[in-house]
Amino acid sequence: MATASKVTRIKASSSTPRKVSKKTPKVKKERKAPTNPFIKTLFAIGGYFRGAWIELRLVRWPTRSATWGLTFAVILFSAFFVVVILLLDILFKFLFEIILK
């Protein structure tokens, strides 16, 4: 028999969730590409930046407090592993000195 399990959702921030827009950004119709290679390249670069801007508008950016919390987590995580690697380095140096004597 299968038992029902309760699902607990974990939120990244304590603030109320923001309303996510369901609208998709309007994209203009593609123009006919010119035959000049230089102009084609300019159109391609412009299309890249236009697409990047559309994607950036769809991103759900974190709040300031969430950003600081994650920044401190990365710094603590990095400091922990710096200490672990330094301790391992000291240990291996000590062991090699004992072996080589």
- Digit-coded pLDDT (tens) for 19-77: 666 677 677 777 676 778 888 888 889 999 999 999 999 999 899 999 999 999 999 99
Contact indicator for 12, 60 with CB cutoff of 8 Å? no
Collapsing DSSP to helix, strand or coil, 96 comes out as helix
Q: Does residue 19 fall inside a structural domain?
A: no
Q: Does residue 79 fall inside a structural domain?
A: yes
Return all residues near 63 (Cβ < 8 A) that are at least 6 apart.
13, 15
pLDDT value at residue 29: 73
Q: Does residue 69 fall inside a structural domain?
A: yes
Residue where the block lists tokens 């369901």: 22
What's the pTM value of the predicted model, to 2 decimals? Answer: 0.45
CA–CA separation, 69 vs 15, rounded Å?
Answer: 13
Q: Does residue 23 fall inside a structural domain?
A: no
Q: Does residue 9 fall inside a structural domain?
A: no
Q: Does residue 49 fall inside a structural domain?
A: yes
Q: Does residue 41 fall inside a structural domain?
A: yes
CA–CA separation, 14 vs 12, rounded Å?
Answer: 7
Count of domains in the chain? 1
Q: Which domain holds residue 70?
A: 37-100
